[in-house]
Structure 1
Amino acid sequence: MTSQEIRQQFLDFFKSKEHLIVPSAPIVLKDDPTLMFSNSGMTQFKDYFLGYKEPKALRIADTQKCLRVSGKHNDLDDVGRDTYHHTMFEMLGNWSFGDYFKKEAIDWAWELLTEVYKIPKENLYVTIFEGDEKENLERDNEAYNYWKAHISEDRIINGNKKDNFWEMGASGPCGPCSEIHVDLRSEDEKAKVSGLELVNNDHPQVVEIWNLVFMQFNRKADGSLENLPAKHIDTGMGFERLCMALQQKESNYDTDVFTPLIVKVEELSGKKYTGILTDEKDIAIRVVVDHIRAVSFAIADGQLPSNGGAGYVIRRILRRGISYAYRFLDRKEPFLYQLVAVLQEQMGKFFPELEKQGTLVTEVIKSEEESFLRTIETGLIRVDKLIENTLNSNTEIRNVINSINKNNPTYDALKKIQENTNVLKVNQPLLDAFKQIQENINSINQPIQESFKQIQETIDKANQPIREAFKKIQENLYSVKIKLPNTEVFELYDTYGFPDDLTRIIAEEKGLTIDEAGFEQALNEQKQRSKADSAQKVYDWVTLEEKPENFVGYDKTESETYITRYRKVENKDGEFYQVVLSESPFYPEGGGQIGDKGVLENAVESFEVLETKKENGLIISLINGLPKDAGAVFYAKVNAAERKNSQANHSVTHLLHEALREVLGTHVEQKGSFVGPEYLRFDFSHFSKMTEEELQLVEDKVNAKVKESIALQEFRNIPIQEALDRGAMALFGEKYGDNVRMIQFGTSMELCGGTHVKNTSEIGHFKIVSESSAAAGIRRIEAISGDKSAEYFKNLEKQMTELSQLLRSKDIVKSIEKLIEENISLKSEVEAFKKEKAKGEIGDWKNAYEQKGDKQLLVKKTSLDAASVKDIVFQLKREIPTSVTVILSDADGKPMITVGVSDDLAANYQAGTIVKDLAKEIQGGGGGNPGFATAGGKNLDGLENAYQKALTL
């Protein structure tokens, strides 16, 4: 049975049980502040469970695209290292919203598995919730009794709260659950160990395939449980694991869900997949074929890789795949993007977004690969330099080893190293060996005073343990792994995006390791800083009245209202309250448009509305305090000026979208937007930079529509199919209901929930401010309209007037061209002057070296630029033997230190070490190689201290 047939049989079965079959929701969530991705089948039905929305039907079934890579449900680190964890997976599910409950859910699950899919009954085990005393929850005897009708009691296993009480998160719907596990082992293996012992014990062939959740509680923010208004069923069956069971494979990756992708990877890489669990090549192939699915579906659903939020998660998954391919498949060129076509062929018919967005997905992945491979190449150079510097700073350890190999070194020399080498301080065997040496040397001193014979005898006797102790030191020195400093490893990871596991592997190849504890500490500190910036404590809702909310913001910006529920919120800025109003004119953030601000006031008190968002179907406004009488009547007023500008920018965004399609082609689709009162940002699919002519044409077309004074036609509750038939554009990655709102300005028609002008004449004027790249295959336009556009032209006119006055010319362009020519000429003269000055300096500096010990030292201050100093230092280090040259420069107020060491001194003096030490005085940093290094800083006044310090070298 193919995977396609398995999926279809599931849906057909529940359709026969009077379930409505619905399509998968997008894998990326846009209006849920608690989640970035759909991490289970129930995510799209959360509002039904909470009672915020009426379900489309009381019985529903679907297959849902899911992603688990962060938070509680995080499978990323396991992916590739076992046979059944995935980042992206399909969750087959059936749902009941206050209709059937445990009996039907259990009966139908058993019927489908054993009668339709023909899984042998003796291969199945089930678990039930054993209860929890702390939560005052009883054992789920109801489920136990229903299961007894299908399976022997010895195959019904009690499970604890961790395994058999399902919770969506820290708060929200939850309840006891029954898991169904399948034993896929051979008969010989089953005879050796009972499957009962392997359920929920991470055995690769005794795995959970279906979880039946009996949703009957709601977890409140304080941790307590309350009964849901109605009992629901929420089931989830892992599609990939089900295919493994039905296709009788030992691994998910051996099923036809993955084999077409694996075959393509083999073709592109020249590596053969053997299915060995610990083989690095095979792990890499599993990582690649898993990750390409996750990334492709996320991009197809509208989430582009980026440096923040959900986009960062997608970039991290993709880069993990690229890293594995680079290291273990020897792929130094982009190749993951070539797997997208295979995925389209496999799943495009059931998930049409893969086919529709295929070109975009391919181009984005290819661009990300090219960028990250450059990062890897640059990072490898940085890692090599870091390893070189680390080894150079630990040469004393190697010197001691060499010395011990030749003869026993003096105890004082060893003691000095033991005291000054941090890496040895924590090595207990070394400390014990040093202690033994000290004790044995002390044992020599006393007999010396008695007689020469006694001295000789004692020395001979004591030498043996000393030699043994030196041997211990030698052995332990060899065992010491020098650690790469955690600060540099973390900088590679955090600043340059270089994977820490790749740094770890390269270090181990050189006999080094990384400071794991220090790296983890730096990583955790960064996470804590990030959490502190965004952390907030949210209390439980206080419900004053159960009443459906009424949004009136499309028709008016002021409304008489009262609070129906509120909750306290605490964050780094203080204490605030979120309120839900009986009638709200405040537009909640959504569809790219920011939420309304305004005031909530009555005769007694007034509160500022700081933001408005939507959560679980509720329009929530954040206010800066709690009314003395929370149930009093208030007057809600939207900030009319900001709303006016926002809706002008939103309407003109629709006109811009249409104009871009007319000028560039119908391949243009909206990929993201931001609409605020100050400006608008519009991301769209297009694969090349727009020309000035194209931008001007788009701008002209939009302004022509503005001047036409086209009236708004609004269709608030139109069937989605009717809207699409009329020609309305549906935006990719958006989730639409059966009925939608359609906004029309002439020939521009879009499904949209935002606020808009009543007539395009209200937009005033449209001006494109910039056009740039947002990602591979995605261009970005930033623009202004209305008052901001008028302000822009007013400022532009003012600047032109000022320029004309400054240049004392009405022909500004001609005057600027003349200035550019003069500037080029002056630059040429300055460069010539600098070269002549540098030649003069070299002669003086050659005669200024002073003999300091084993070297000639030159320490000089200068105002020469960095390029000139570099040329001089390289010439001096070549021409002056046994020399160390230190130049401290003040170039345009920026401190710079340059160090050169002649080649014949490179073994004794490291330019990089010297410059790092001196850079501390100017609050800077730098580096280089043993012969040449530079450092910049922020503290110009520190140059004098650096100068004095350099004189003591």
Structure 2
Amino acid sequence: MRTAEIREKYLSFFEGKGHLRLPSFSLIPENDPSLLFTSAGMAPLKPYFLGAKPIFGGKEWRRITTCQECLRVGDIENVGRTSRHNTYFEMLGNFSFGDYFKKEAILWAWEFLTDHLKLDPARLWVTVYQDDDEAYAIWRDLVGVPEERIGRFGEDENYWPGGAITHGPNGPSGPCSEIFYDRGPAFGTPDETGPNTGSGDRFVEIWNLVFTQYDRQGPIPGPGILKPLPQKNIDTGMGLYRVAAILQDVEDFYRTDTFFPLIEQVALWSGKPYEGKASVSHRVIADHVRAVVAALADGVTFANTGRGYVIRRLLRRALRHGYLLGLKGPFLHRLAPVVAELLGDFYPEMRENLPMVEKQIRLEEERFLETLEGGLKRLDALLSGLKPGEVLPGQEAFRLYDTYGFPLDLTVEIAAEKGFGVDTEGFQQALEAQQERSRAAMAFEREIFKKGAQVLEELYAERGATEFLGYGALEAEGEVLALLAGDQSLGEAGPGTEVQVVLDKTPFYAEGGGQIGDFGLLEWPGGRARVETTQKTERGIFLHKARVEEGVLRVGERVRAVVDPGRRDTERHHTATHLLHAALRAVLGPHVRQAGSLVAPDRLRFDFTHPEPLTPEELERIELLVNRWVMADFPVTWRYMPLEEAKREGAMALFGEKYGEVVRVVRVEGSPLPGLESKELCGGTHVRRTGEIGAFLIQKEEAVSAGVRRIEAVAGEAAIRFARGILNRQRALAERLSVGESALEERLEKLLSELKAKEREVESLKARLVQAELRKEVALSEKGGLRYAVVEMPGLDGEALRQAADDLVERGADVALVLSEGRAVLKLSKKAKERGLEAGSLFRALTERAGGRGGGKGALAQGAGLDPATAKEALPGLLPVE
């Protein structure tokens, strides 16, 4: 059974049990600073486990099911070395928020595994928490699992979080029950001793049911108090890849259909088969490239910190293992399309963002490969000079890092493979000493000395961050502290020179929080420079990207910095973004969270979490709510406060922003609905009153990725121009159709009706053409007492293909396969079904030989992508013999 089929069976099964199917949430957790990546199926649903109402699409859902993509790097060193560890994986889950509990969760899990996946009940073992008599009784008495196949274990094995009773943390917790599949003695542990005993991979955990029923309270560490929760929850997870390995009867999930195509491709390029020591590198590459592609497709970018650091580490580890296989050039970007093809049906962002993903990976590969070979040679030389049991000095590990961009974890890993340790404390001391001398070292890559970077560091040390005056002014006088061009620091810049201008104070807003940077002019006696945009460093130094138009700009010059007033239409759109965010949550529910934004002078773009398209009625309510805010002309205020205080007051955090201990909170002092407010942490510029926004119009709403939607809108004059453009187009369309504007809709309906009539005529002609082609060309072959036909008929759509297949069956074919430009329909006669054939199974078997995808059931199956010549040859071999 293919992995995609298992995934769909699971989600459909729980939909049938009253669960709402949600698409996978992003790998980037929304408003959860405790996580770098979504690491479990329940992670995006935390608020609902803690009591928040699970509102989706305006309706409360207490039962949810998902297939969540997850990324974990806690055991990255084991990835590749074992056949069961990986970083990027898919977790199937069903969740209950105060609805059903242990009985239903256990019975449904068993039903799905045994009735729908057809796993042998005699090979299933279960474990429960040692004190959970309720779960034990359900397994024994209601499910019928023999007592000898039910294990009782302590809090380290069967409690969530593991060891929480004794060691914490405080908060929601509960016992859990795990389901294991016995793969047999060939996988280790000859005797049937059960899960959590013996050795090897014989007993594979495939399902974990967490019964969140207690609030753990008390000292940490120490014996905690388990106080019953008012709302009992269910959090379950089934390991998709582990189950796929079992159902596909392969040794491990790396040989399943979502991994092995990657391994086969690497084996082809490298000439090293997937066996022996080389298999470690194959597994690392297959796992890590999937994780990198998934993260990049979700919006992560390579960086020296945070999420970007993690995926950079994964890419470089995969590259190093490619190097070990003899792949000396960039190759991971060539695997990205394979990943997108394997996973893109369920995670469409992988296909949609593939060009960008390939480009980012290629550039990152090229950067790292420049230094990898030299670093490997140096490390080999250092290790060869050590005696058995010796440790590589920390200073040497740091030199590898500083000179070759060789990350410490890579040095540790390679040294461990050769039986040596690394003095990591000495490395850290050397790193800290170097950072004291210079801020030039950056994690994971060599930092080439740049005079401009040094100037910025010296400026910050001497003067601190740039003073921003733009909240209350559009122009101000400032002193030029530095002029940067590329990696050079200039003393002056003449006409035509492009420079980054650093001022001691500025009214120009630097790009951040979704708001683009200001542009305008820098003026001084006898000179002028045009600022094209403004950015800032992590230390808060503003960089004005400018081109000198007249005169010579010099360091030390006093300039008049003037923001283009038109640029500050961004204020209208920025405040409108805050109101839109609040309106979305009011109309759709509290699950809505910002997932990205763009605030420009002429438009705004707002990405948010939501599982389905918005209806016209929802969009109208949201738009009206924002405009009521605008028409009320409420004051917009802001103040600084401690971060924790802002959180207590319910201020929303903006996507991608980094917050210090003191934050700026922007608030609209009024609301069109009782209890609704707009209050967000934000460093951007805003209007003084909502009335300054003028008007607000939504232009479009669309999907960005699984579970993320996007709204594009306009405010102020841009909204007026947008509305006028629509009215002008409507008038022009009415004139072209020679009707009044009021009759435009009626005229359009008439044209559509006429068009449908013509389409019916065309379909009728197609049907007659199909019949004529069949009478002329159909030829039936026979195998095992069944007559079959494979016919290519170019130019037919899906309905015509199905009709052609029906006609073939009526003319005597027991198995009819009709192909047309990549599409295919398979139809079975009653006789073929009586002989045991099933259309869906036969079609899937056909795709395994002829490529493509598709499915069906009963007598009809259909799909696309089959190779016609291969399909013709393959079909007879799939039919039964007498």
Q: Normalization by structure 2: what TM-score?
A: 0.51
In 2, distance between residues paired with 1:317 and 1:708? 38
* Alignment-derived partner of residue 344 in structure 1: 340
Equivalent position amino acid for 1:343 in 2: V
In 2, distance between residues paired with 1:373 and 1:734? 40
- Cα distance change of structure 1 residues 737 and 387 upon mapping to structure 2, 3 Å threshold: same
Equivalent position amino acid for 2:64 in 1: I
* Alignment-derived partner of residue 583 in structure 2: 717
Counterpart among 194, 201, 205 of residue 202 in structure 2: 205
* Alignment-derived partner of residue 359 in structure 1: 355
Aligned to 1:653, the other structure's residue is in SS state coil
Aligned to 2:152, the other structure's residue is in SS state strand
Equivalent position amino acid for 1:311 in 2: G
Aligned to 1:260, the other structure's residue is in SS state helix
* Alignment-derived partner of residue 134 in structure 2: 142
- Cα distance change of structure 1 residues 47 and 171 upon mapping to structure 2, 3 Å threshold: same
- Cα distance change of structure 1 residues 691 and 31 upon mapping to structure 2, 3 Å threshold: farther
* Alignment-derived partner of residue 3 in structure 1: 3
Structure 1 residues without counterparts, runs of 5 or longer: 131-138, 392-478, 531-593, 598-643, 658-672, 683-688, 694-698, 764-953
- Cα distance change of structure 1 residues 85 and 200 upon mapping to structure 2, 3 Å threshold: farther
Residues 1:373 and 2:302 aligned together = no
Which gives a bigger RCO, structure 1 or 2 (Cα 8 Å, sep 6+)? 2
Equivalent position amino acid for 2:62 in 1: L
Counterpart among 158, 181, 185 of residue 152 in structure 2: 158
Residues 1:94 and 2:94 aligned together = yes
Q: What is the CA distance between 1:486 and its match in structure 2? A: 3.6
Superposition pairs for residues 322-341 of structure 1, below 5 Å?
Answer: 322-327=319-324, 329-341=325-337
Residues 1:59 and 2:63 aligned together = yes
Residues 1:236 and 2:237 aligned together = yes
In 2, distance between residues paired with 1:332 and 1:296? 21
Counterpart among 487, 493, 501 of residue 395 in structure 2: 487
Equivalent position amino acid for 1:126 in 2: V
Superposition pairs for residues 93-132 of structure 1, below 5 Å?
Answer: 93-130=93-130
Equivalent position amino acid for 1:334 in 2: P
Counterpart among 288, 293, 296 of residue 299 in structure 1: 296
* Alignment-derived partner of residue 227 in structure 1: 228
Q: What is the CA distance between 1:494 and its match in structure 2? A: 6.7
Equivalent position amino acid for 2:687 in 1: K
Residues 1:32 and 2:29 aligned together = no
In 2, distance between residues paired with 1:692 and 1:362? 37
* Alignment-derived partner of residue 257 in structure 1: 258
* Alignment-derived partner of residue 498 in structure 1: 406
Equivalent position amino acid for 1:522 in 2: G
* Alignment-derived partner of residue 184 in structure 1: 183
**In the TM superposition, what whole-angstrom CA distance separates every residue of 1:56-113 from its partner, at most 9, and x where no partner exists?**
41000001111121xxxx2212111122111111110000000000000000000000
Q: What is the CA distance between 1:382 and its match in structure 2? A: 3.9
Determine which structure has more spread, i.e. the larger CA radius of gyration.
Answer: 1
* Alignment-derived partner of residue 437 in structure 1: none
- Cα distance change of structure 1 residues 121 and 502 upon mapping to structure 2, 3 Å threshold: same
In 1, distance between residues paired with 2:431 and 2:176? 33
* Alignment-derived partner of residue 311 in structure 1: 308
In 2, distance between residues paired with 1:287 and 1:205? 23
- Cα distance change of structure 1 residues 63 and 702 upon mapping to structure 2, 3 Å threshold: farther
* Alignment-derived partner of residue 266 in structure 1: 267
Q: Does the CA contact (< 8 Å) of 2:510 and 2:517 recur in 1?
A: no
Q: Does the CA contact (< 8 Å) of 2:395 and 2:430 recur in 1?
A: no
The aligned length equals 511
Aligned to 1:717, the other structure's residue is in SS state helix
Equivalent position amino acid for 1:58 in 2: R
Residues 1:284 and 2:150 aligned together = no
Q: Does the CA contact (< 8 Å) of 1:28 and 1:733 recur in 2?
A: no
Q: Does the CA contact (< 8 Å) of 1:2 and 1:256 recur in 2?
A: yes
* Alignment-derived partner of residue 835 in structure 2: none
- Cα distance change of structure 1 residues 500 and 212 upon mapping to structure 2, 3 Å threshold: same
In 2, distance between residues paired with 1:236 and 1:122? 22
Q: Does the CA contact (< 8 Å) of 1:27 and 1:301 recur in 2?
A: yes
**In the TM superposition, what whole-angstrom CA distance separates every residue of 1:316-361 from its partner, at most 9, and x where no partner exists?**
122111111112x111111011111011111112111212221222
Q: CA RMSD in A?
A: 4.8
* Alignment-derived partner of residue 855 in structure 2: none
In 2, distance between residues paired with 1:361 and 1:709? 33
* Alignment-derived partner of residue 134 in structure 1: none
* Alignment-derived partner of residue 729 in structure 1: 605
* Alignment-derived partner of residue 76 in structure 2: 76
* Alignment-derived partner of residue 571 in structure 1: none
Q: What is the CA distance between 1:313 and its match in structure 2? A: 1.8
In 1, distance between residues paired with 2:39 and 2:244? 20
In 2, distance between residues paired with 1:122 and 1:50? 37
**In the TM superposition, what whole-angstrom CA distance separates every residue of 1:863-883 from its partner, at most 9, and x where no partner exists?**
xxxxxxxxxxxxxxxxxxxxx
- Cα distance change of structure 1 residues 339 and 489 upon mapping to structure 2, 3 Å threshold: same
In 1, distance between residues paired with 2:283 and 2:319? 12
Q: What is the CA distance between 1:380 and its match in structure 2? A: 3.5
Aligned to 1:207, the other structure's residue is in SS state strand
Aligned to 1:217, the other structure's residue is in SS state strand
Q: Normalization by structure 1: what TM-score?
A: 0.47
Superposition pairs for residues 644-683 of structure 1, below 5 Å?
Answer: 653=515
Q: Does the CA contact (< 8 Å) of 2:372 and 2:404 recur in 1?
A: no
Structure with the larger helix share:
1
Q: Does the CA contact (< 8 Å) of 2:177 and 2:208 recur in 1?
A: yes
- Cα distance change of structure 1 residues 218 and 756 upon mapping to structure 2, 3 Å threshold: farther
Q: What is the CA distance between 1:258 and its match in structure 2? A: 0.6
Aligned to 1:349, the other structure's residue is in SS state coil
In 2, distance between residues paired with 1:650 and 1:499? 30
Residues 1:194 and 2:191 aligned together = yes
* Alignment-derived partner of residue 85 in structure 1: 85
In 1, distance between residues paired with 2:511 and 2:29? 24
Residues 1:320 and 2:317 aligned together = yes
Q: What is the CA distance between 1:758 and its match in structure 2? A: 2.7
In 2, distance between residues paired with 1:297 and 1:309? 16
In 2, distance between residues paired with 1:709 and 1:67? 37
Q: Does the CA contact (< 8 Å) of 1:48 and 1:55 recur in 2?
A: no
Residues 1:758 and 2:620 aligned together = no
Structure 2 residues without counterparts, runs of 5 or longer: 163-167, 435-467, 472-505, 520-534, 550-560, 631-653, 656-679, 694-882
* Alignment-derived partner of residue 379 in structure 2: 383
Equivalent position amino acid for 1:184 in 2: R
In 1, distance between residues paired with 2:315 and 2:118? 38
Equivalent position amino acid for 1:153 in 2: E
In 2, distance between residues paired with 1:287 and 1:507? 17
**In the TM superposition, what whole-angstrom CA distance separates every residue of 1:538-567 from its partner, at most 9, and x where no partner exists?**
xxxxxxxxxxxxxxxxxxxxxxxxxxxxxx
**In the TM superposition, what whole-angstrom CA distance separates every residue of 1:285-328 from its partner, at most 9, and x where no partner exists?**
0000001111111122222222112222222122111111112x
In 2, distance between residues paired with 1:708 and 1:527? 42
In 2, distance between residues paired with 1:690 and 1:342? 43
In 2, distance between residues paired with 1:189 and 1:232? 35
Q: Does the CA contact (< 8 Å) of 1:209 and 1:242 recur in 2?
A: yes
In 1, distance between residues paired with 2:536 and 2:48? 29
- Cα distance change of structure 1 residues 703 and 94 upon mapping to structure 2, 3 Å threshold: same
In 1, distance between residues paired with 2:609 and 2:548? 30
Q: Does the CA contact (< 8 Å) of 1:178 and 1:211 recur in 2?
A: yes
In 1, distance between residues paired with 2:543 and 2:217? 38
Q: What is the CA distance between 1:483 and its match in structure 2? A: 5.7
Q: Does the CA contact (< 8 Å) of 1:648 and 1:757 recur in 2?
A: no
Q: What is the CA distance between 1:674 and its match in structure 2? A: 8.7
* Alignment-derived partner of residue 490 in structure 2: none
Q: What is the CA distance between 1:185 and its match in structure 2? A: 2.3
Q: What is the CA distance between 1:248 and its match in structure 2? A: 1.6
* Alignment-derived partner of residue 43 in structure 2: 43
Equivalent position amino acid for 2:350 in 1: L
